[in-house]
Structure 1
């Protein structure tokens, strides 16, 4: 995300100063984790909802999913507290689009990878045949 978004105020709005910790985060955090803001989490939930609805019924294209995300996010008032030095620099739609695009790309990649995943022969025939020529 940091390579796509150049505005420092927008980048700062992606992360939260509050550390919301659960058990796994407490174990894994050695000072290097960054925690997402509430708007970022809300936007990911919206993108996940759209992904789950469209994955079952039709072929999806990333641009169509992005348009649906933008339509659904219009009334949510996301990232409104982002202070910009220049009043003409409103990056809200670009920020929302970049986050949704990244999330949907990762989600679609994982979904298609899990759909075509097969058991390898080595795992299937573990005890029966040791290597079966592999």
Structure 2
């Protein structure tokens, strides 16, 4: 697991650079890879090709950084602590533990500690978002039927 940038630590200069990089990558990539000619502060140069998947990931990361948002990169098979999972769901750790104890989210125990697979957490988040979206659609439809102007 690699946490690229902590919240609130994106300077204005970095935001601008990220915005320019995101635009450049999006323009160059299309659906393929991008050849990069990089130069370090030491003057060392290197040319390499970023595969299409990496270009899409970097483009998305740069767009998030340009907005001043934090970015985390994790493999899909990562195992998260209850605190990490709670942070991703934007809920308290005790609330997350209650979800685990109600079998709303699968987990395994490692000693006395619970671990949640990232892919299971992402599936839960997707299901939760679908339920929320459906509820909002139903409310909007009801408002239309009642002539509330929404």
Q: With structure 1 as the length reference, what TM-score do the two structures score? A: 0.27
Q: Which has the higher contact order (CA 8 A, sep 6+)?
A: 1
Q: With structure 2 as the length reference, what TM-score do the two structures score? A: 0.25
Which structure has greater strand proportion? Answer: 2
